[in-house]
Amino acid sequence: MSSRLEGKKALVTGAAQGLGSAIATELAAEGARVLLTDLNEAGATAVANQINREFGASRAFAIRHDVTNQADWRRAIEAARSELGGLSVLVNNAGIVITGSVEDLDMDEWRRGMSVNVDSVYLGCKAALPLMRENQPASIVNLSSIAGLVASHNFANYNASKAAVWLLTKSIALHCARNGWDIRCNSIHPAFIRTPILNDLAKSGEDVVELHAKLARQVPLGRLGEPSDVAHAVTYLASDESRFMTAAELKLDGGISGM
């Protein structure tokens, strides 16, 4: 265990599995105290318990939290204040993939994707900034995607929602800088990281091993990313090592966007 995040107080959304779980665990390993939130409360609690077993009691806490709900955000920020003693790192990680072309998607699907992927970042930053101002230097990390920078015919909603996260991140960063607050805000843009979300890309009946191999063939490095690849990047952005980095996008795509 090292201490690049000693004294940091972090909230990670969507932390019951996948990237959120890996991110929360690495932030704790680097010395942060962490509040894990998810719709799946049992899953988030299991990850928090594992962190506490590994890194010491009261290192991690978990609550149920729907990131599309403003009242839930108020409760989550209050939990950060009471359980962590403040908030200096916010990781807006929760997100969903809805596949389909512009003609495939109905209005409910469109709204659901925009709500989980974009409203969540707006609501989260709006709710968190007052407490983060009391805990400077602070850092917000938003999970966009390589799909927020490069489009596909059947990703209309995912492309639009993750592109919105990309520029919303910059607007938040400039708002903080203009006000003289040491609160940075950056986005991360992964491609094909080995988590359950990839299963949403499988055609019906397609085997997961086959799907992973097919996706890996699209990556110049020839392999999928691992959750730890993203967690390392979040640790850097959460830490004061990245103190001159704000309004930036960090691509973790094995070279896809370089083609």
Q: Which residues form the catalytic set?
A: 158
Cα dihedral 147, 178, 93, 115, rounded to 10, equals: -70
Least distance from C-beta 6 to ligand NAD, angstroms?
A: 26
Give 24 or 84: the residue with its C-beta nearer to ligand NAD. 24
Distances (CA, A) of 169 to 72, 79, 194: 21, 24, 25
Q: What torsion, rounded to 10 degrees, do the Cα atoms 234, 237, 240, 246 define? A: -160
| DSSP one-letter code for 78 | H
DSSP 8-state code for residue 220: T
CB of 4 to ligand NAD, least distance (A): 22
Which residues in this chain contact ligand NAD in the complex, by CB under 6 A? 13-14, 16-20, 38-40, 65-68, 93-96, 116, 143, 145, 190-193, 195-198
CB contact at 8 A, 149 and 251? yes
Of 96 and 177, nearer to ligand NAD (C-beta) is 96
Q: Shortest gap between Cβ of 182 and ligand NAD (angstroms)? A: 26
Nearer to ligand NAD, 55 or 73 (CB): 73
- CA angle, 173 then 248 then 152, to 5°: 115
- Express the helix, strand and coil content of the chain in percent, nearest 5 each: 50, 15, 35
Around 44, how many Cα atoms within 13 Å sit in the side-chain half-sphere? 23
How far from the centroid of its chain's Cα atoms is residue 125's Cα?
13
Residue in the shown chain whose Cβ atom is closest to ligand NAD: 95
Q: Which residue's CB is nearer to ligand NAD, number 71 or number 240?
A: 71
Answer yes or no: are the C-beta atoms of 51 and 24 closer than 8 Å. yes
Q: How far is the CB of 27 from ligand NAD (least distance, A)?
A: 15
* Alpha helices (H) in 179-246, listed in sequence order: 208-216, 227-238
Compare residues 79 and 193 and give the one whose CB is closer to ligand NAD. Answer: 193
In the complex, the smallest distance separating the C-beta of residue 242 from ligand NAD, rounded to whole angstroms, is: 19
Give CA angle at 28 (191, 192), nearest 5°: 10
